[in-house]
């Protein structure tokens, strides 16, 4: 009777532990990690680190006592927000500016990138793209100065044209009803080129064979744009929309402060300017705790909005940011 001999089982493969894999990867890609190090330091020191300061919102913070020894106030600062009648004015102004930025500013780079993609001359297309991107690198101070010069009541080009046409000069920078249109105009001027680059990059990733097949079927440029290009960049559009909704309570504080004056308080005063005045322009000791509570509440609402829009996008278009 033959006996079946079993071969000795091979020893189990010893897999490297997580620290060993991390050290191996670090030694292999150490130059890449060195390049990433400054970005990580900035992220930790100026983004993640200050999150701990949110604890001030639950204190009666005193600079003399410090964050660890100041008196605990619980939710008193948050309750104070809901009893402050001026908060409604701030929220209204902030939301109106944010909605205008989403409704008016958001579609412009999409439309621009779609039409720029139809330009056949590569040199012209590259030149237009570069010129549209340049304002992004110009500071808010310079942009507002240019706008103020153009709209100057005494010597501005716009008012000179109005007077030449038989009208009266308008002090645009001191009119509350003109603050929002001018803010949105600067927002478009400074940011649409940057956003357009994202959509242009998404367009270049679309398979050229789709355009060739559509052309063989007799599709014109409008049909190719509507049925190929626009669906091809829909994921990028949704991601940018989610980010825009997340910034709904965040406006360009530098630009607003530069356009700021007592004549336009009724439309220009937003959450950020209110917090700025509490901390930097208050008489006596700045109310850091209340200012922090306002910002914490603003961030929580923005987080809820982003999460909601992200889930809607996932269900409707099968695209999500996280």
Cα–Cα distance for residue pair 25/17, rounded to 1 Å: 12
Kindly report the pTM of this predicted structure.
0.79
pLDDT at 1: 47
pLDDT band at residue 9 using 50, 70 and 90 as cut-offs: low
β-bridge pairing 71-72 and 59-60? antiparallel
Residue 10 or 158, more confident: 158
pLDDT at 297: 87
Across all residues in the chain, what is the average pLDDT? Answer: 86
Cα–Cα distance for residue pair 176/188, rounded to 1 Å: 20
pLDDT at 262: 84
User: 2 burial class (0-12, 13-18, 19+ CB within 10 angstroms)?
Assistant: exposed
pLDDT band at residue 121 using 50, 70 and 90 as cut-offs: confident
pLDDT band at residue 3 using 50, 70 and 90 as cut-offs: low
Checking if the pLDDT of 159 tops 90, the result is: yes
Checking if the pLDDT of 320 tops 80, the result is: no
Closest CA to 233 of 110, 109, 315: 110
Checking if the pLDDT of 5 tops 60, the result is: no
Map out the domains of the chain with their CATH numbers.
Answer: 83-317 (1.10.3720.10)
3-state secondary structure the chain: CCCCCCCCCCCCCCCCCHHHHHHHHHHHCHHHHHHHHHHHHHHHHHHHHHHHHHHHHHEECCCCCCCCCCEECCCHHHHHHHCCCHHHHHHHHHHHHHHHHHHHHCHHHHHHHHHHHCCCCHHHHHHHHHHHHHHHHCCHHHHHHHHHHHCCCCCCHHHHHHHHCCCCCCCHHHCHHHHHHHHHHHHHHHHHHHHHHHHHHHHHCCCHHHHHHHHHCCCCHHHHHHHHHHHHCHHHHHHHHHHHHHCCCCCCHHHHHHHCCHHHHHHHCCHHHHHHHHHHCCCCCCCHHHHHHHHHHHHHHHHHHHHHHHHHHHHHHCCCCC
pLDDT at 317: 72
pLDDT at 142: 93
pLDDT at 161: 94
Cα–Cα distance for residue pair 315/302, rounded to 1 Å: 20
CA distances from 32 to 24, 35, 37, 47, 177 (A): 14, 5, 9, 22, 51
pLDDT at 8: 56
- Give the tens place of pLDDT for each residue, 211-250: 889 888 888 888 989 989 998 998 888 888 888 887 777 7
pLDDT at 19: 81
CA 100 and chain centroid, separation: 14
pLDDT at 43: 87
- Give the tens place of pLDDT for each residue, 247-269: 777 788 888 989 988 899 889 99
Cα–Cα distance for residue pair 98/104, rounded to 1 Å: 10
pLDDT at 85: 86
The residue-averaged pLDDT of 171-192 equals 92
- Give the tens place of pLDDT for each residue, 76-111: 999 999 898 888 899 899 889 888 888 898 999 999
Closest CA to 293 of 105, 61, 48, 92: 61
Cα–Cα distance for residue pair 322/320, rounded to 1 Å: 6
pLDDT at 157: 93
């Amino acid at each position: 009777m033959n006996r079946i001999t079993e071969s000795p089982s091979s020893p189990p493969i010893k897999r490297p532990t997580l620290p060993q894999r991390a050290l191996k990867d670090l030694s292999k890609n150490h130059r890449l990690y060195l390049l990433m190090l400054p970005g990580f330091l900035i992220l930790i020191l100026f983004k993640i680190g200050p999150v701990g300061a949110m604890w001030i919102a639950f204190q009666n913070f005193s600079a003399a006592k410090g964050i660890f020894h100041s008196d605990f106030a619980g939710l008193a600062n948050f309750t104070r927000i809901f009893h402050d009648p001026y908060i409604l004015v701030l929220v209204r102004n902030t939301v109106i500016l944010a909605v205008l930025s989403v409704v008016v500013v958001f579609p412009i780079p999409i439309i621009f990138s779609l039409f720029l993609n139809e330009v056949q001359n590569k040199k012209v297309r590259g030149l237009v793209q570069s010129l549209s991107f340049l304002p992004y690198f110009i500071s808010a101070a310079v942009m507002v100065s240019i706008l103020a010069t153009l709209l100057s009541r005494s010597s501005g080009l716009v008012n000179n044209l109005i007077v030449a046409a038989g009208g009266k000069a308008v002090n645009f920078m001191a009119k509350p009803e003109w603050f929002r249109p001018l803010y949105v105009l600067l927002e478009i001027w400074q940011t649409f080129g940057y956003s357009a680059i994202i959509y242009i990059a998404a367009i270049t990733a679309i398979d050229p064979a789709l355009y060739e097949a559509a052309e063989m079927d007799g599709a014109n440029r409008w049909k190719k744009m509507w049925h190929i290009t626009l669906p091809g960049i829909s994921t990028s559009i949704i991601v940018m929309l989610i980010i825009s909704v997340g910034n709904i309570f965040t406006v360009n504080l530098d630009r607003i402060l530069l356009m700021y004056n007592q004549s336009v308080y009724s439309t220009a005063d937003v959450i950020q300017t209110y917090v700025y005045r509490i901390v930097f322009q208050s008489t006596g000791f700045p109310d850091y705790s209340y200012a922090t509570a306002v910002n914490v509440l603003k961030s929580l609402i923005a987080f809820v909005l982003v999460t909601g829009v992200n889930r809607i996008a996932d269900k409707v278009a099968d695209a999500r940011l996280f």
